[in-house]
Amino acid sequence: MTDLAERQKLSYIAAQAADARLNVELETEGMTLNIGPQHPATHGTLRIIVRLDGEQVVWAEPSAGYMHRGYEKLTEVRTFPQITTLVNRIDWLGSFANEVPFILAAEKLMEIEAPPRTQHIRTILFELSRIANVSLFLGDLGVQLGAVTPVFYAFRDREYVLNLIESVTGGRFHPNFDRIGGLLDDLPAGFITECKQVMKRLRAFCDEIEDLLFGNEIFQARLRGIGVIPADVAKQYGLSGANLRASGVDFDLRRDQVLPLAYDKVDWKVWTHPDGDSWARCWVRLQETREATKIVDQLLDTLPAGPIMAKVPRIIKVPEGEAWVSTENPLGEMGYYVVSKGDLGPFRVKIRSASFNNISVVPWVLRGVYVPDVISILASLYFILGDIDR
Amino acid sequence: MVIPLSDDSISTTTTPAAALPGDALREGVVATLRDELGADLLDHLLKPNDDLWVRVSAGAWQRAGRVLRDKVGCDFFCFLSAIDWLPSPYGRGEDDPTQPPPERSTEIRQGYAGGDTRMQVFARVVNLTKHFGVTVKADVADDSPAVDSWVGVYAGANWHERETHEMFGIGFNGHPDLRNMYLPSGFEGHPLRKDFPLLARMIKPWPGIADVEPLPGDDSDEGGE
């Protein structure tokens, strides 16, 4: 295995040299370019400092932290039920998915398990969050590459998913719906029929996006073979989710661990792609959106009857212990390492968010690419600022 | 490295669920670590059907990472962080600022796999083919907390170590660039240490605790819906 730290050091030296270098043939000098923090290409306040030699990036460094809210410190002064409000705001496009691993960690420490109906509804809402999140990615991808139409389609159809989430939880962006031992409420009347229609619609949306974008020659030229991340680099940097599977690593936390969620009760596939380039990452996400609609459909068919709340004490004290639970969130592996001292609130919560690791590979992957590819690689890596900075 | 572009026809894989790890597998991991690290493997905890925690000495921190990557096959880097085991002198920030602060215990009680010091670094690495993870901890000295950097072992540790350095003040020897990620470069203090006060809670009394009130006619704590 290559010693990546060594290569990082070398690239830094090369960047220093590029700044001082004078290209005799073309009469160019190295220059440093700031992309962001307020820049359309970074969707959010991510600042990227790139050193250029002509059109080529010699060295790149993302500068995160413009949206650091200190959630790990804030969790230490809150009770367990209050924390779902905070963690909702980490990945704000798929908020419900943030709550689930934290609640599961607390339930693991308390040794309680949610009733089967709750597990089903949690999984349904989890996958709806994924669709709401990734459908925006598919639309946004077009905008990053100069095509404006897909984003209108994405916002149009994402609206139906948000309406569904709102009809269950009352919140479009921050549901705050998951509780230790169950859920706040049951599904509303008519949800199943409506949800099935929306899932059909979303499948049509995926076909539309595939026709519009993925077959497009310009789209392929901008993404294929660009920003290749080999599997060993992806694993060393801890890339997760579609970014990891697009590098050919067959790993999905929905399948590869035992969790009290309903994924083992449905028939679904894990999609991988061997290329590891920007196109592969987009393609895997498209397939995952399709797969998510199928998971939701099957879960709606097999929804068991029963209570939605396990028996939990009204004042929740979590026994002393440590627990790690991570789930396959829209952006990748999202996990919470919860340390409890038997108090009302946790002693320490380490939040492992997907985008933090996914973006830490940027200095590696941007070396040697051309400036327009910076945009497409960042878009295909797909990050949410709140998920980097927490 | 050049990866040839693939055909669309080979780019789908649908795999059956792989076998999930058993506790025997985790016991094997502990045995491997004991063989490789010897006395530097200080303690371990294996919770049946759950997870594995190991604690190594600070001097063997980097070596433990290499053993986990090369011998145990945990080549996926999940996260790295630290825990400050000192109980917070401010409680949960709910003290009345007009009253003298209440007496609080300062007893340091470490968690799984034990410990001797106030602060510990811990990290998690995962074996993606056999589907198990290991949480590895190491004590860091109280006076000058530092361990060797993992950047040479897992390149992804770079940002995690920067974050841990600014939040806990733990040094990582051999890290290429320990600049602050979130805070201004001249910031004093380490926010995630327990003795760093959360100022928003210090200057104004917090009403949050009042939200759990007994219902009329209900004396028991055991509620449930």
Q: pLDDT tens digit string along A287-314?
A: 899 989 999 999 999 888 888 888 888 8
Contact B11 A322 (CB under 8 A): no
Q: Where are the domains of chain B?
A: 21-203
Partners of B122 on chain A (C-beta within 8 Å) are 337
Q: Does A272 contact chain B (CB < 8 Å)?
A: yes
Is B76's CB within 8 Å of A238's CB? yes
CB atoms B223 and A230 under 8 Å? no
Is the Cβ–Cβ distance between A384 and A331 less than 8 Å? yes
pLDDT score recorded for residue B51: 85
Chain segment B20-66, per-residue pLDDT in tens? 667 778 888 888 888 888 888 888 888 887 888 999 988 889 889 98
Residues of B in contact with A361 (CB under 8 A): 156
d(CA B71, CA B65): 10
- Max Cα separation, chain A? 76
pTM of the model: 0.85
Instruction: Closest CB to B15: pick one of A270, A310, A344.
Output: A270
CB distance A237–B156 less than 8 Å? yes
Of the two residues B215 and B79, the one the predictor is more confident about is B79
Query: CB A256 to CB B51 under 8 A?
Result: no
Neighbours of B224 (CB within 10 A): 12
Residue B134's closest chain A neighbor by CA?
A324
Would the CB atoms of A65 and B181 count as touching at under 8 Å? Answer: yes
| Nearest residue to B151 via CA among A236, A92, A56, A157 | A236
| Contact residues for A40 (Cβ-Cβ < 8 A; gap 6+) | none
Classify residue A345 as left (phi > 0), alpha (psi -120 to 50) or beta.
beta
In the stretch 72-91 of chain A, residues with CB closer than 8 A to chain B read: 72-74, 76-79, 82
Query: What is the reported pLDDT for B7?
Result: 47
Half-sphere exposure at residue B109, Cβ-oriented, CA atoms within 13 angstroms: 13
- The pLDDT of B173-192, averaged and rounded, is 85
Kindly report, residue by residue over A19-45, the tens digit of the pLDDT.
555 555 666 667 888 886 666 656 667
Distance, in angstroms, between B222 CA and closest chain A CA?
A: 5
Q: Provide the token pair at A61.
A: 């460094």
Task: Tell me whether residues B5 and A350 touch, CB distance under 8 A.
Answer: no
Q: Is A372 exposed, middle or buried (0-12, 13-18, 19+ CB in 10 A)?
A: middle
Average pLDDT, chain A: 85
Per-residue model confidence (pLDDT) at position A78: 85
Measure the N-to-C terminal CA separation of chain B; round to a whole number of Å.
Answer: 58
Q: Which B positions 174-203 lie with beta carbon below 8 A of chain A? A: 176, 180-183, 191-192, 198, 201
Structure confidence at residue A220 as a pLDDT band (50, 70, 90): confident
d(CA A108, CA A82): 18
- Kindly state the tokens that stand for A50: 């790139």
**A62 cis-preceded (ω within 30 degrees of 0):** no
CA distance to partner chain B, nearest, from residue A67 (Å): 8
| pLDDT digits 0-9 by tens, A155-172 | 888 899 999 999 998 888
Residue A335: band (very low, low, confident or very high) from pLDDT cuts 50, 70, 90? very high
Average pLDDT, integer, range B163-178: 88
Say what the alpha-carbon torsion angle B100, B105, B108, B113 is, to the nearest 10 degrees: -130
Secondary structure (3-state) at B52: strand
Provide ipTM, 2 decimals: 0.83
The 3-state DSSP class for residue B54 equals strand
CATH class of B21-203: alpha beta
pLDDT of A225-280, one tens digit each?
A: 888 888 888 998 989 989 999 988 888 888 888 888 888 888 888 888 888 888 88
Nearest Cβ partner of A3 from B49, B112, B152? Answer: B152
How does residue A8 score in pLDDT terms, banded at 50, 70 and 90? low
Q: Give the closest-approach CA distance of A117 to chain B in angstroms.
A: 15
Q: What share of chain A has pLDDT > 70, as a percent?
A: 90
**Residue written as token pair 């210090």:** B202
The helix (H) or strand (E) run that includes residue A220 is helix A217-223
Domains, chain A, with CATH or none: 71-357 (1.10.645.10)
- What sign for the dihedral angle of Cα B88, B91, B97, B99? negative
Least confidently predicted of A149-163, A211-225, B74-88: A211-225
- Find the residue in A nearest to B195 (Cα): A73
